[in-house]
Every structure is written in C-alpha cells, then in structure tokens.
Chains A and B, each alone.
Chain A
Amino acid sequence: MTKGPALLLPVLYLALFFAYLFGPLAIMAITAFNSAGFPRVSPWECLTFGWFGKLAQDTRLLEGIGNSLIIGVGVVLIAVPIGLAAALTLSQVGPRLRASLYTVFIAPILVPGVVIGLSTLIFWDRLGAMIGADYDTLFYDGIFLTIAGQVTFIAAYSMLVFLSRISRFDPTLTEAALDMGATPTQAFVKVLLPFMAPAIASAAVLAFLASMENYNTTVFTVVAESTFTTVLASKVRYGLDPSISAVAVIIVAFTLIAATVFEMGKRRQTRAASGLLALDRPVLRLIAHPLFVAGLMAALVGGVVWTGANHDSSVCEMQVLDDKRAVQERLEQERRERIEALTPAPSAPSAPTQSAPGGAFAPGSLAPGGSAPSPAPSPAPAPAPSAPGGAFVPGALAPGGAFAPGGLAPSGSVDN
C-alpha cells in the first residue's frame, strides 16, 4: 500500500527534472520553424524552413565553423596525447607525489576559462614581443592561440578519462610481456595502447566536443579570427533571430541520432555477450543493427530536408502580412476617427490636424501611418467607442508584438 506514493514521488520528480532539461531546448527548436522574425512560439505564424536556408548562406557562420573544425582537430591531436601521458605518469609515481601532481594536473579544469584565455594571450604576446616576431607569426595567430588555450584544460579532461580506464589495467599483463622478452617500448605499444584504445576514442570525442563548444577561453584567444561559438555569441548579443534556433535544431538532431545509434550498438553488445542475439530471427537482427538504424535515421533526415527544401511558406507568409496590414489599417482607421472626434468642429476644415490638442498625437504614434493617410474629412465621426484612454500610447501597442517596428518592416517593403 505504501509502495504507491513512494514510487510516484520519484517518478514525478524525474519527470519534472527532465522537463526542465529538455523543455527549453524543445521550445527553442520549435521557434526555428516559425516564420515570425523574432524567435517565439506564439503567436504562431507559418511553418517555414527558411531559417535553415538563411543559415546555409551565412558566410560568417560557415567560416567560424570551418575554423572551429581546424581548432577541434588540433586540440584532439595535442590534448589527447598529453592527457594520456599525464595519466600514465600519475599511475607510476608514489602516493605522495601522486597527490600533489594530481592537484597540478586538475587545476586547469578549475581555473575560470576567462583566466586561461587571457593568460595564454598575454604569454604568447610577450614571448612574441621578446623575440621580435612579426604580427603574422604564430604568436599572434588566433587559431594557434586558441588551440594552446583550449589544450590547457581539455588535456585535463582527457586525463580523467584515461585515469578511469587505467585503474582497471592489470599490470601483470605488461610484466608478462616483459618476461616474454618484449622491450618496455614494445610492451607499451602492444599491450598498454590496445588496452587504452577505447579510452583514446572517447577522450578524442570528448576533446573535440569540448573544443567546439568552448566560448570563455576562445573569445580571448581567437583575436581577429572567429569560431563557431564566437560568431553565435555575437549573433545572439546583437539581435535575436530564429536562424540561431535552427543551429540548435541541427545540433540536437545530430546528437539524438548519434545517441540512438550508440545505444543500439550498446544493446547489441550486451545481448551478444549474454548470447541473446536473435539468431533465429534474421529480420529482427537486421532491424536492431546499429548500421541499419543509422541508415534509417539518415533516410529520415534526408526526407525532412527534402520536404523542407520543397516546402513553400510564402503564400502563408503573405497571408500573415496581409492580416497584419489589415489590423494595422483598422487601428489607423480607429485612430483617425478618434482624432476627428477630438477635433473641435468641422467648421474649420483647413487645419484639422494642427489644432489637435494633447499628447495623444505624439509624433511616434502617428509615424507608422504617415505614409498613407487618407484625408477623410467626414463631418460627423462617431467617437471611437472601444478606444479609451491609453489605447494610443505607443507602449500599449507593443505586447501584441505585431506592431513592434520589426513586425512592420516587411510590410513597408512590400508596399514600395
């Protein structure tokens, strides 16, 4: 009887927790498909794939991604061997030296990335100045500096991966190799390295990802160049745009596919280990194969991309624009009626607007309509009924969003 609520609470908590984890990403992903110029879910305008197209034409972003890839490969090539060396060294020294060495090796993870970034920048700058290097040499090169800065702490990540693997290494294997006449170098290459291979792979993946997504260090060391993250950051800081959400969608999709394939592979392995591989059911075996899953995912992505490329949202977008313009015109109309209601009398038709009193006619509130005001000197306008007090204060129009300057810009361009 007590089992019910006791089980319910953890499940509820986990559900909430994962909602917190995935909710923001899901919402961001949805905004990538909304044609509204500002990333948001509501009001929903049109399903569009246009933001992805915009992304593909963003040369700055593409250049940044290119640099990030170069940096990532460089970081993997340097940080992984360093991490391996550090882990091996730690495994060979006595306990007291080990404790202090460990503190030194782990320190770069704890030092704020900002500090690592600018210390790297200063060090190579000083070194360059000391030997009188030119500004186009390595010492001032953003890509080299970024690799140096990132390796500083990513090597420590790799070291942690290697340490956990090495703790399961059986040293008698090396001893056996040595007894059989192998040199220490041979023992290292033929016994230890193969044992470490899986850890090397995961350390490399981890290092590459850590490099790709680093910002704090990179923003200092990258100097005049740009990377994926610095381009993204400047995009986010100087104007929100759903194409940023589109970047996230691509990353999340890649991640989910990789995770699914990885999980299928893992399951297959455990099944194979326990002899439960469905040998008698070849169809099931095929379906559960990681390669098959990967192919399926690739086909799915291809289908979505194809649909996206052929999806035409322009009709819907025109519709939304027309709606917006209609609303705009209705408000114009209401305002005009209101203006006329406020003007004292139709007896002085020569200057109706000049005599308009009060702050209700602040220039800002009239500006959008300025392009096409029909004179409409109708003599006895009904006092706009549903427009009390503050309806024409510019701010009051903002919440709907449709009337923010950005929302109007496209309609203006269509007009002309």
Chain B
Amino acid sequence: MSGLRAFFAGFVDRNGLPVAIYLGLAVTIWVFLLVALPQLAMLDFSFRHNLPPSKMGGPEDVYTLEQYRYFFLGSEIGGGDWNALDIGVLFKTLLAAVAVTLIDLAICYPVAYLLAHSARGAAGRLMVLALIVPFWVNEILRAFAFRILFGATGVINEAGMAMGLWSAPIDFVGEDVALYAGLSYAYILLMIFPLYNAIESLDRNQIEAARDMGASRIQVHWKVVIPYAKPGIASGSTMVFMLTAGALAAPQILGGPSNLWFTQIVYQWFNDGGNWPRGSAYAIVLLAVCIGFVMLMMRVFRVSIGAIGR
C-alpha cells in the first residue's frame, strides 16, 4: 500500500498536479467506464433471463445458465441433443477466420519483404501510399465492390463466359468465394504493416551473410527472415484473425443465403430476436473462444502478447 502511495507521489511529482490528474482521469475513464465495466455488464447480463423491463430487478430476475445452456444444447423442446446449428456456425467462423488469416499472410509476406528491403525513397513512400489509399474506402463499400465483381452478372462471370471458360454464371456468392476474397481484402493492411515493421528492422547484412554461406533463397526466408519477423507475423495474424472472426458487414453483404457468420447470430438475437441476454451470452462465447484460440496459438508459437500492435 505504501508502495502504491509512493508511486502516486512520484507520479504527481514528475508531472505536476494538473497533468497527473489529467493522465489519471483519462486512463481511469477509459479502462473502467469504457472497457471494463461494459464488459462486466455484458457478462452479468448473459447470466440472466430475458425479462421485460417491468420485471427487471423483481423476484424473477435471478442468475441462470439458461442462455449458455441454449447455446450448447439448443431449445428444451429439442431434448438433450447438442445445438449443432449454432456450434457448427461458430466452428465454421473460426475455421474461415484461420483460412483468411493464412491467405493474408501468404499474400502479404512477399509484399512486406519487398517493401522493406527493395523499395527506397520516393518509390517506397508511393507504395505505402498506394497501400493505404484503398483502405480509406469503408468496409461496406469494399464488400459492395466484391459483390459487383462476383455477382451473377458481375465482371468475373461476364469475362469468364466471354472467354469461354464456363458457360453458365457461377454462383460465387453462394459458394463463399466472394466472402473469402472480400474478407482477405478487407484486412490486408493490418497484416502488411506489422510484417513490414518487423522485417524492416532486420539488418540486411544478416541476409547477405546467409547467402554467402550458401543458403538458398528459400532457406534465407525460412531460417533468417521469418524467425526474425515472428513478432510481426504474430501481431498481424492476431489482428486479422480477431477482426475476421468479429466481422459483421462483409458476411452480411457477401455471405451466401445459407451461410451464417457467428456475429450474425449475435446480431439476430439482439435486433430481430429481441433477446439481449442470449445475445450477450453468444458474444461472450465468441470472445472467449477467440481469445482462447489466440492464446493457444501464441503458446504454440512462443510469442508474447506484448508483440501485438507493434
């Protein structure tokens, strides 16, 4: 306790009282009022029954596991079977997010490497600018662009049929091709910049040395560049994975009619279903599973969370 007081005394001493108050207040408001308490409120809400406002706080307003039970086992009428639909959608969402992450990693690694080690001066700056420009267009318009591209009368279908590659329009939207392409596109930037930052700080002499020792091009990447860029890869992959798993707009616009993204189920419980506690429970499930998965991957690949965001 005295250590804490000494810390605050030092904090005030160093910054002066007004600045110390500003720093403390801003960080406290952020961490508690905006981040922690809302999450706790949601957690609390997910353990409640779906009651009309008049009954909230009344005798019926007790804690329950009903909403989670529903996620795992489905409605009571269905009997003790697993809720295959919702669990299936969750797994499919995770799998798709992993796939999109890997696609982005594969696409972005060469670009980041070239950007970091070949492009210099004005050319490099121009490339960075060219990377950023498409991402000022918002997520919905990007998804819309892919809808135009992949639709039944879209450019790809028209071109393919004109060249005689296929004769009837291919349902790219229904086959989820449009969704995967759109999602990979949406988060490219979040993959490139962490990779770029990591690779850029690699001393070029290390690559030269490896080449001098007889390493092939692939060996240079596999044994020198990639191990060095591991924090960047982890950072980019985590962000792409989390954002893809939590994406809502792209699946709404590009998803086929039979395809559901887990966030869409959450959205449905909230808006169409009017069942906030169940929506909260589903959101908690999504959050927990995603964080668990990221933690597991970090353990497997031995990266610390401090690497994220750099």
B148 in contact with A107 (CB, 8 Å) = no
| B305 part of interface (Cβ distance < 8 Å) | yes
B38 in contact with A81 (CB, 8 Å) = no
A148 in contact with B270 (CB, 8 Å) = no
| A232 part of interface (Cβ distance < 8 Å) | yes
Question: Chain B: which residue is nearest A242 at the CB level?
Answer: B148
Interface residues of B in 82-136 (CB under 8 A from A): 107, 110-111, 114, 118, 122, 125-127, 129-134, 136
Q: Mark A128-160, 1 if CB is under 8 A from B, else 0.
A: 010000000000000000001001100110001
B141 in contact with A28 (CB, 8 Å) = yes
**Given contact pairs A111-B287, A119-B39, A24 touches B145 in the complex (Cβ within 8 A):** yes
Q: Mark A287-326, 1 if CB is under 8 A from B, else 0.
A: 0000000000000000000000000000000000000000
Interface residues of A in 1-51 (CB under 8 A from B): 10, 13-14, 17-18, 20-25, 27-28, 31, 38-42
Q: Mark A220-256, 1 if CB is under 8 A from B, else 0.
A: 1000000011001100110010001101100110011
| B155 part of interface (Cβ distance < 8 Å) | yes
Q: In whole angstroms, how far apart are the Cα atoms of A39 and B150 in the complex?
A: 12
A-B contact count (CB 8 A): 260
A110 in contact with B248 (CB, 8 Å) = no
Interface residues of B in 141-164 (CB under 8 A from A): 141-149, 151, 153-155, 158
Interface residues of B in 196-232 (CB under 8 A from A): none
Question: Chain B: which residue is nearest A98 at the CB level?
Answer: B306
The range of chain A's interface size is: 35 or more
B34 in contact with A85 (CB, 8 Å) = no
In the bound complex, residues from chain A placing their C-beta under 8 Å from that of B39 are 111, 115, 119
In the bound complex, residues from chain A placing their C-beta under 8 Å from that of B247 are 216
CB distance from B56 to the nearest CB of A (A): 7
Question: Chain A: which residue is nearest B16 at the CB level?
Answer: A184
Q: Determine which of A85, A237, A255, A399 lies in contact with B27 in the assembled complex, contact meaning CB atoms within 8 Å.
A: A85
Q: In whole angstroms, how far apart are the Cα atoms of A187 and B45 in the complex?
A: 46
Question: Chain A: which residue is nearest B26 at the CB level?
Answer: A85
| A122 part of interface (Cβ distance < 8 Å) | yes
**Given contact pairs A152-B34, A215-B249, A399-B169, A85 touches B137 in the complex (Cβ within 8 A):** no
Q: Mark B245-286, 1 if CB is under 8 A from A, else 0.
A: 111110011000000000100110010000010011001001
Q: Determine which of B14, B147, B155, B305 lies in contact with A240 in the assembled complex, contact meaning CB atoms within 8 Å.
A: B147
Q: In whole angstroms, how far apart are the Cα atoms of A251 and B133 in the complex?
A: 10
B34 in contact with A110 (CB, 8 Å) = no
| B29 part of interface (Cβ distance < 8 Å) | yes
B42 in contact with A248 (CB, 8 Å) = no
Q: In whole angstroms, how far apart are the Cα atoms of A229 and B23 in the complex?
A: 33
| B239 part of interface (Cβ distance < 8 Å) | yes
CB distance from A121 to the nearest CB of B (A): 8
B155 in contact with A27 (CB, 8 Å) = yes
| B31 part of interface (Cβ distance < 8 Å) | yes
Q: Which residue of A24, A99, A188, A399 has the most chain B CB atoms within 10 A of its CB atom?
A: A24
Q: Determine which of A88, A233, A245 lies in contact with B23 in the assembled complex, contact meaning CB atoms within 8 Å.
A: A88
Question: Chain A: which residue is nearest B305 at the CB level?
Answer: A103
Q: In whole angstroms, how far apart are the Cα atoms of A106 and B234 in the complex?
A: 14
CB distance from A310 to the nearest CB of B (A): 27
**Given contact pairs A27-B149, A215-B138, A119 touches B252 in the complex (Cβ within 8 A):** no
A245 in contact with B252 (CB, 8 Å) = no
Closest 4 CB pairs of A and B: A112-B246, A184-B16, A213-B138, A85-B26
Could you jot down 28 A-B contacts, CB within 8 Å? A24-B142, A28-B145, A40-B153, A40-B155, A41-B155, A41-B158, A42-B155, A85-B30, A88-B23, A110-B238, A110-B291, A112-B245, A113-B243, A113-B246, A118-B270, A156-B309, A184-B15, A185-B17, A213-B139, A216-B246, A219-B267, A232-B141, A237-B252, A237-B253, A240-B151, A255-B136, A263-B126, A401-B153
List the interface of chain A (C-beta within 8 A of B): 10, 13-14, 17-18, 20-25, 27-28, 31, 38-42, 81-82, 84-86, 88-89, 92, 99, 102-116, 118-120, 122-124, 126-127, 129, 148, 151-152, 155-156, 160, 183-188, 209, 212-213, 215-216, 219-220, 228-229, 232-233, 236-237, 240, 244-245, 247-248, 251-252, 255-256, 259, 262-263, 266-267, 399, 401
